[in-house]
Structure 1
């Protein structure tokens, strides 16, 4: 019976099966082996797939978990991705390459069936591929391999070459994660997803950090195999990780598609804003196919040129409009085709509408303040604030 359940879990994730919606993956990042079973059960309530981050287990806690690994996986209601990442690779545990190799040999290679998916870093994937050729026989089930590479110091200049190297491996799924220094770093991620889709490759692509949040929300609608969402703030496995509940309930990632109109808040910082909760709730209530995203923007000039202006932007996406907050309300005016006279007089724009290739700027701050006061009969002539 367990084998049948496991077979059904895996079939739903096979590339030949129809995927009804994007997948949200919830990492389990416990520090005690005894807590893993309950944590997996909790994650199953909101996850489509779960990542078991074994590198979060310190000292002997890892070996306690490994003794029960098959039963943990078999008891899960969702497929599990098993990850054991060294600190050098961006993980939480100090270990040398031999330890990493021994782990996969003992728990995944040579036909061991219990791991649903194995997230294996590129260096080991290349090593196992080389050994397979030398031995002349299969060492592992490549259909269950996620070949991953992580960059926590920004976007490497040779990222396209790295993708090519990964795509030449037999791994079914490719994963690249980079640290976004500014929002324009997300362009590279969306290009990778487009390239992988054109080549028929399954891929996970993430820009980490607050500047990369849009990739976590939009990547599944651009063909990503999954997106990561934490169970809560204490269980984040990477910078800028949005909670799984927010991905589902606020951003509605399971409903987003290529036609979803995109709007958002431009500023720095913006992650504290309640605007996504307000606007996305309105879209859901009115059944509007749109999503409102926080855009953490440091360089407004590059964002407007490379991502916003339909005549110069470097990515194809249905960006419909922007809310603008500090510190960009003044500097953004240089990039607009038309500005309403009152906004010109005020010297600030907080709303941009993009329509027919034209960017129009407005200021709604003043009416939002004045209309309620006038409604109370206050005389505001020559008033100063």
Structure 2
């Protein structure tokens, strides 16, 4: 197997029987304080399905380079990426730079598959090793921006600078201030003609880690357990493989998701991704932490971004971004989902919130009401809706259509009045 100019024939890749649809590898950060703990973590990472172990030797409390590296490289059950990250690039090491580079050189001599060196000192490192690099070893030259995600031009210029060092693999990690920042990284990954690792850190950057497989990144990172991460926003290996069906993501995979703020609590990705997998649908469903719906929609205008669910607080803003709105959604004044039509790329909004909510209430009331099947058990009932937001509007609409007497309780009178007028005078 190859990806760009980097041979992977020696890699102990997982899931070869799964007919994986991409070559993007899953790399597990190993950040224990002792070599023994690291070996245990590497074994666990392999069991979970990782392809590579990033051995963060800067986390070791006591590091004896020759003995420890030989043990980790020779006894580790996965191909190794040795990273010795200094504090000035977000790592733990705060010692002599010459000793750090000497340890990385030693890692190459001992058979590491990859080593990571920071762009800031890459040329110094290449001079240090004087071209003495085993053919098997691939050098990743990396740059980490913990403040923002620059423009496409600036990221592109950065990638050129990294390539110019002689890097086998380009690694660029930035920070998401907005979910639209991911689009700039996708552009770089898709257009750079060398193996590239392109990641956007933070919760708003999650999609970059999952869709790395769609755009052809060399690898993505997955943690062994939730919360124990080497960078903000890192998903677990289990989530990548089981929740997001990572191996089956391809260039033609359609992207769906739930738009909200906050959105991490949503169970929608669990439901939709399981359904997609069950029926063999080539799609991925993501939690999308969106600040501005309009910016999100205009940025991700590709036909591959095919549809969204909407949750708080964006149900009404979503309606404003539709090219066409279903009549019921228009009456409600909010949408719960949006679909991009394949034929013309137009976005159509719908609202089905009221269907599930009203049906559940009717079923609960039906047994005790004794009303004929043709008459809703809500007919004539006093129906109180707390809140006049998108969901409140939908449920109030559904109850009113069933013949209930609707009362709306809301924090602000203006929204309540607007909703009541909408229900009773349209």
Deviation at 1:153, TM superposition (A): 0.4
SS in 1 for 2:132: coil
Deviation at 1:20, TM superposition (A): 6.4
Q: Does 1:114 align with 2:135?
A: no
Q: Is there any run of 5+ residues in structure 2 with no aligned partner, and where?
A: 1-7, 15-19, 367-375, 380-402, 408-426
Deviation at 1:81, TM superposition (A): 0.5
- What's 1:48 paired with? 51
Q: TM-score, normalised by structure 2?
A: 0.78
- What's 2:188 paired with? 192
Is 2:35–2:68's contact at 8 Å kept on the other side of the alignment? no
Provide closer, same or farther for how the CA distance between residues 370 and 66 of structure 1 changes in structure 2, counting only shifts above 3 A: farther
Is 2:83–2:117's contact at 8 Å kept on the other side of the alignment? yes
Runs of 4+ in 1 over 6 A off after TM superposition: none
Farther-moved stretch of structure 1 (32-41 vs 251-260) = 32-41
SS in 1 for 2:143: strand
SS in 2 for 1:384: strand
Provide closer, same or farther for how the CA distance between residues 220 and 161 of structure 1 changes in structure 2, counting only shifts above 3 A: same
Counterpart pick for 2:346 among 353, 358, 364: 358
Q: Is there any run of 5+ residues in structure 1 with no aligned partner, and where?
A: 1-6, 308-312
Give the aligned length.
355
- What's 2:98 paired with? 98
Is 1:12–1:19's contact at 8 Å kept on the other side of the alignment? no
- What's 1:87 paired with? 87
Deviation at 1:96, TM superposition (A): 4.6
Is 2:21–2:248's contact at 8 Å kept on the other side of the alignment? no
Deviation at 1:89, TM superposition (A): 0.3
Is 1:263–1:290's contact at 8 Å kept on the other side of the alignment? yes
Cα distance in 1, alignment partners of residues 22 and 322 from structure 2 = 39
Deviation at 1:166, TM superposition (A): 0.8
Q: TM-score, normalised by structure 1?
A: 0.86
Deviation at 1:264, TM superposition (A): 0.4
Deviation at 1:170, TM superposition (A): 1.9
Deviation at 1:21, TM superposition (A): 4.1
| Residues 178-327 of structure 1 aligned to structure 2 (within 5 Å) | 178-196=174-192, 199=193, 201-307=194-300, 313=301, 316=302, 318-327=304-313
Deviation at 1:155, TM superposition (A): 1.4
Is 1:22–1:253's contact at 8 Å kept on the other side of the alignment? no
- What's 1:379 paired with? 378
Counterpart pick for 1:339 among 307, 310, 325: 325
Provide closer, same or farther for how the CA distance between residues 232 and 348 of structure 1 changes in structure 2, counting only shifts above 3 A: same
